[in-house]
Structure 1
Amino acid sequence: MKKLFLGLSATAMLIAGSALADTKLKLVEVITSPERTETLKSMVAGYEKANPGVEVEIVSLPWGQAFEKLATMVAGGDIPDVVEMPDTWAALYANSGKLVDLESRIAGWDNGKTLTDKTMAMARQTGKARMIPYGFYLRAMFYNKKLLAEAGIDTPPATMADFMTASEAVSKLDGKFGYCLRGGPGGTNGWIMMAAAMNGTNEFFTKEGVSRINEPGSVEGIQFLIDLYQKGYAPKDSVSWGFNEIVAGFYSGTCAFLDQDPDALIAVAERMDAADFAVAPMPVGPAGKAFPTIGYVGWSIFNTTEHEEEAWGLLSHLSTPDNNKVWSKRVGVIPIHKGADQDPYFKTEQFKGWFEELNGDQYVPTVMPTYLEKWGFFTSTVLLEGAQQALLGERTAQNLADEWAEYLTNEYAAYKDSQ
């Protein structure tokens, strides 16, 4: 009898154990930091509590090796159910048919109705919605109120002409400069935005597949940045500045203007009084338009999952308005749901510029052509080296633009040939 009882107890334990882990999901995060991971764990714990039969394993890949590590996992059959998907990777996995089409899921989801139009536009960059973005890295213009007041400037610049004038005025102050120029690594966004603003369009290619980066308006935009530097409206050593240097240049009071994403706000807000700075939309060009670059990351489901229903449950849980607001505040992105700008945290001068850009027709977000196979090499090497040469007076804006146009036109032709 005792043996029978023990046998029944063991069986009961096995059944209970299996019931507690009926479904196991693997979630891979690729942009990792201690705070991000802890925030994600907390949200996942909430999902597990509401779904007792589901267990979620979080795999954290270091960003520097994340692309290769995820590709290796997928190639080896160790494919996650849910993945953190950067915009620059989405086309690769979507075009090879590896991601679940979420259109019907979003349509039937109560919170799907509150996703902003731009959120859905980004979700559909690969055709159908194969991700739900969790926030946007959108460029807008930080400005130092004290420096502008000292220079006699009443309002942040609304146009490119105003921007040049204000930068000149601030640069007349002792030891101060107008613009925190990112002349070093990662400076692509500035060149692309200025070229687009002056050219009146953010189309990268004509219908014939020719790059527009060397059209007259684009060349004016490139010359605009060169002038800011060569006229002394940006620090001399900013020719080699990267992210850390430009952000420090702003919060130290060296420069009055900084175009950056919301992730820079975290460092700035820690070191500056909120009354001393704000964020405005990017200044518009002669056509009355500005084209701030936009990046985004979201959650996708691999179509190899054996638990699509539960995977969608996890993805939608992470994307609820409440969870997305928490995530946006901790990570430094613009939230994805309508009405988020009314939250006291976001309803400030520090976020005003980004929400104006998302809601204003004169601001057209620019998505980089990351579908080009060698876009990464172009931004990290071709553009960087050429731009620094031009800033130092070794090349003209036209010469620079012609080189970029030839490179991009050839890359676009190769991309079309591969389709």
Structure 2
Amino acid sequence: MRLKKMKAITLLLSAVLTVGLIAGCGGKQASDKVTIRMIESLTSPKRTELIQAMLDKFQEDNPNIKVELISPPFDQADNKIRTMLGSKEEIDILEVRDLNVAEFVNNGYIEPLDAYTDKWSDFATVSAVSKSVGTVGGKMYFLPNGLYQRQMFYRADWFKEKGLNPPTTWEELYETAKKLTDPSKNRFGFSFRGGAGSNGTTDSMILAYNGDKVNLEDSMFTKDGATIYSTPEAKAAMELYLKLYKDASPPDSINWGFQEQVQAFTSGVTAILLQDPDVIQSLQEKMEEGTWATAPLQTGPTGKALFAAGGAGWGMSSKSKHKEEAWKLIEYLSSPEVNTKFSKDYGLIPLHTTATEDEFFKTGPYKTLIDMSDKPDTFVNYKPAFEYPGNGQWGQVAMETGQALLLNKATLDETLKKWDSYWVEQKANLKQ
């Protein structure tokens, strides 16, 4: 009897311990969280707030995944990302830009996403342009979180005062900007950008002036293999560029970057701004309705304007220890519903073709972009030089040499020769 009682107690203790162990194991699994480290590049307070809101919702739906968002200051972000990747610091998702994707691929920093997108049902509606922007060597390395496409913003009230129409060519833009310039009133026709990103204007002008000569698949070069900077058309474009700065732009705009350029327009200093749709939100917040409007890009002497949609988006670190969880987050951020909402809130062209059917993108300041895409013979799409590793440094080179030109420290011929040599070297290195 006593033996049976002892056995019963032993069995009961064993059962209690087993249940305890199971509960303990279950508790450990429930408390385990995978932490995803994610860094953005194109930072701004509003944008970071929008991204964090999306991440909060993702974490609510996926309680086993914690997301740590790193948001460096905009002007330091890309170097911060390079430093983290180069030092093999733990990072799972990074914002990759069209400007540096080839550099990151070349250094083995980022993972191809094809194995993941092949199984993603929503990939069927990702636009061809979005796929192209994130692709290097036939493999996709990032999914754009929105596309940027340049258009013209202008002070409709100033134009009305002077009885002017929006310019359709670069020559007209110069003449119009000159008429709108009155330094005594601190009014200037053109929101010039001589600092970081200045090559957005110089390249646009040179491409437009070269027109049909440009190799659309290798846009820093003409169809006969020369660089676009080596042609007579490039010199004509840059001569107009110099006049645009001298006759129609604020003198201190030689140092302006994105923020200064946009602020000058919103504060009533400049009349014409060439920018991407991400400025629309700022214009709507800071300017009265009816004081500004949009128009298509300007054409060159052959009647064509060359443009490319650019973008940044979410890529995966090749060293990530949590690739499945990282892809789950990228997939969520890139879904039609989430991406379209982000595009509306921040002012971007959505990733998915289905979103462009939304009335939001068919009216108002976005309509110009749709109008341009409906005239492909005039507004010609080209493939930017994303696949060249030196593309990420081109902006810095163009800015420094361009400022030297504007300050009369270099001649136009010397400047164009430097630009020509830069891309000749890029082509030679790419072949090796």
Among 340, 347, 350, the residue aligned to 1:335: 350
CA displacement at 1:185 relative to structure 2: 3.4
Corresponding residue pairs, total:
413
Structure 1 residues 343 and 13: alpha-carbon distance in aligned structure 2, compared to 1, 3 A threshold = farther
Match of 2:423, as an amino acid? L
**Contact 1:99/1:303 (CA < 8 Å) preserved in 2?**
yes
1:288 counterpart residue number:
303
Worse-superposed segment, 199-208 or 275-284: 199-208
SS in structure 1 opposite 2:313?
Answer: strand
2:7 counterpart residue number:
none
Which digits, 9 at most, give the CA deviation of each residue in 1:228-263, with x for residues without a partner? Answer: 233x22233333333233212212233221111223
**What CA distance in whole angstroms lies between the structure 1 residues aligned with 2:313 and 2:169?**
32
2:150 counterpart residue number:
139
1:312 counterpart residue number:
327
Match of 2:50, as an amino acid? T
Please tell me whether Structure 1 or Structure 2 has the larger radius of gyration of its CA atoms: 2
Matched, 1:183 2:194: yes
**Contact 1:135/1:334 (CA < 8 Å) preserved in 2?**
yes
**What CA distance in whole angstroms lies between the structure 2 residues aligned with 1:378 and 1:75?**
21
SS in structure 2 opposite 1:301?
Answer: strand
SS in structure 2 opposite 1:274?
Answer: coil
Among 221, 237, 240, the residue aligned to 1:205: 221
**Contact 2:297/2:305 (CA < 8 Å) preserved in 1?**
yes
Structure 1 residues 14 and 89: alpha-carbon distance in aligned structure 2, compared to 1, 3 A threshold = farther
Matched, 1:86 2:97: yes
**What CA distance in whole angstroms lies between the structure 1 residues aligned with 2:14 and 2:114?**
55
Which digits, 9 at most, give the CA deviation of each residue in 1:36-66, with x for residues without a partner? Answer: 34433332333344445x3133240515554
Worse-superposed segment, 304-313 or 121-130: 304-313
**What CA distance in whole angstroms lies between the structure 2 residues aligned with 1:89 and 1:127?**
16
Structure 1 residues 229 and 34: alpha-carbon distance in aligned structure 2, compared to 1, 3 A threshold = closer
Matched, 1:222 2:238: yes
**Contact 1:29/1:60 (CA < 8 Å) preserved in 2?**
yes
**Contact 1:35/1:330 (CA < 8 Å) preserved in 2?**
no
Which digits, 9 at most, give the CA deviation of each residue in 1:2-28, with x for residues without a partner? Answer: 997588447514413314537554433
**What CA distance in whole angstroms lies between the structure 1 residues aligned with 2:70 and 2:197?**
24
**Contact 1:325/1:335 (CA < 8 Å) preserved in 2?**
yes
**What CA distance in whole angstroms lies between the structure 2 residues aligned with 1:303 and 1:168?**
51
1:354 counterpart residue number:
369
1:121 counterpart residue number:
132
**Contact 2:100/2:389 (CA < 8 Å) preserved in 1?**
no
Structure 1 residues 165 and 35: alpha-carbon distance in aligned structure 2, compared to 1, 3 A threshold = closer
Among 38, 41, 47, the residue aligned to 2:52: 41
CA displacement at 1:193 relative to structure 2: 0.6
**Contact 2:146/2:312 (CA < 8 Å) preserved in 1?**
yes
Match of 1:55, as an amino acid? I
**What CA distance in whole angstroms lies between the structure 1 residues aligned with 2:94 and 2:158?**
44
Which digits, 9 at most, give the CA deviation of each residue in 1:339-386, with x for residues without a partner? Answer: 434445444332223344455423345665465555555532x43344
**Contact 1:88/1:371 (CA < 8 Å) preserved in 2?**
no
Matched, 1:264 2:279: yes
Match of 2:180, as an amino acid? V
**What CA distance in whole angstroms lies between the structure 2 residues aligned with 1:185 and 1:42?**
30
Match of 1:391, as an amino acid? L
Match of 1:256, as an amino acid? A
1:160 counterpart residue number:
170
Output the TM-score relative to the length of structure 1. Answer: 0.84
Among 413, 416, 421, the residue aligned to 1:401: 416
CA displacement at 1:118 relative to structure 2: 1.0
Structure 1 residues 384 and 38: alpha-carbon distance in aligned structure 2, compared to 1, 3 A threshold = closer
RMSD between superposed Cα atoms in Å: 3.3
**What CA distance in whole angstroms lies between the structure 2 residues aligned with 1:72 and 1:181?**
32
Which digits, 9 at most, give the CA deviation of each residue in 1:159-206, with x for residues without a partner? Answer: 223323322332379733321111233311111111111111362135
Matched, 1:149 2:160: yes
1:54-133, aligned counterparts within 5 Å? 54-62=64-72, 63-75=74-86, 77-103=88-114, 105-133=116-144
**What CA distance in whole angstroms lies between the structure 1 residues aligned with 2:198 and 2:208?**
16
SS in structure 1 opposite 2:167?
Answer: coil
SS in structure 1 opposite 2:300?
Answer: coil
2:179 counterpart residue number:
169
**Percentage of pairs with the same residue:** 30
Structure 1 residues 273 and 107: alpha-carbon distance in aligned structure 2, compared to 1, 3 A threshold = farther
Matched, 1:379 2:395: yes
Segments of 5+ residues of structure 2 without an aligned counterpart are 1-11
Structure 1 residues 8 and 26: alpha-carbon distance in aligned structure 2, compared to 1, 3 A threshold = farther
**What CA distance in whole angstroms lies between the structure 2 residues aligned with 1:177 and 1:15?**
68
CA displacement at 1:316 relative to structure 2: 1.3
SS in structure 2 opposite 1:275?
Answer: coil
**What CA distance in whole angstroms lies between the structure 2 residues aligned with 1:42 and 1:8?**
40
Structure 1 residues 122 and 146: alpha-carbon distance in aligned structure 2, compared to 1, 3 A threshold = same
SS in structure 1 opposite 2:99?
Answer: helix
Output the TM-score relative to the length of structure 2. Answer: 0.82
Segments of 5+ residues of structure 1 without an aligned counterpart are none
Match of 2:169, as an amino acid? T
**What CA distance in whole angstroms lies between the structure 1 residues aligned with 2:55 and 2:244?**
47
Match of 2:338, as an amino acid? N
Worse-superposed segment, 293-302 or 218-227: 293-302
Match of 1:136, as an amino acid? L
**Contact 1:147/1:256 (CA < 8 Å) preserved in 2?**
yes
